Amino acid sequence: MTTRINFFNLSDDKLVYDERKKRFVFLQDAPAVVTRNYQNSQFKEQRPDLSGEELFEFRLKLKIGSQFLRQMNYQTKLEMRRLWRTMGGMSFQYYQPLLDDFMTYFAIDRPRTLRLWTWDDSTRIVNFLTVHLMRAKKYGLDIPHHTTPYMTKELAKQREDELTEFFITEMRKAPSSALKQ
């Protein structure tokens, strides 16, 4: 059995988060049976209740959502740089809320499991993305990304015609009462 590299006597296999009891367990001095039980009780997937096509779709949406959040965090970092360059020392009132969000995501002083997605977080990300993908599909904004690569020209033309008719009927509708006020 290979030994894992650990620095300062801390490693990923010694500190385990017990989701059932909502606490961290330090397993360095624990017997082998207890260590195996805790390590086998950990979920290997974000949603172990899904299988097959549902699991594949969940993984894909979670990956896209995580990339979206990562990009948002990168844009936050760019915005903080811009504020500091343009306003200097006067930027703290604008800078501080952005810094709080940025540092929460990159909390290197916390255990790694707190920075990963939990079941609840990943479900929220996927639900958010599902709503936005449905809206994008309604308006035809998903054509290059989530359509089959074997879409024929006739199918593409039919989809474009359906979208054109949809937009024409939406434009012919009377404005809503909220816009009139």
Cα 110 from Cα 114, distance rounded (Å): 7
pLDDT at 29 over 60: yes
Please indicate, yes or no, whether residues 68 and 32 belong to a single structural domain of this protein: no
Please indicate, yes or no, whether residues 146 and 97 belong to a single structural domain of this protein: yes
Please indicate, yes or no, whether residues 76 and 21 belong to a single structural domain of this protein: no
pTM of the model: 0.57
Please indicate, yes or no, whether residues 142 and 61 belong to a single structural domain of this protein: yes
3-state secondary structure 150-177: CCCHHHHHHHHHHHHHHHHHHHHCCCCH
Structural domain for 32, as ranges: 1-42
In a domain, 174, yes or no: no
Please indicate, yes or no, whether residues 17 and 57 belong to a single structural domain of this protein: no
Query: 62-109 pLDDT, tens per residue?
Result: 888 888 888 888 888 888 888 888 888 787 777 777 777 666 666 656
In a domain, 66, yes or no: yes
Q: Give the percent of the chain with pLDDT over 70.
A: 68
Please indicate, yes or no, whether residues 34 and 62 belong to a single structural domain of this protein: no
Q: How many independent structural domains does the chain possess?
A: 2
- The band of 143, judged by pLDDT with boundaries at 50, 70 and 90, is low
Please indicate, yes or no, whether residues 90 and 116 belong to a single structural domain of this protein: yes
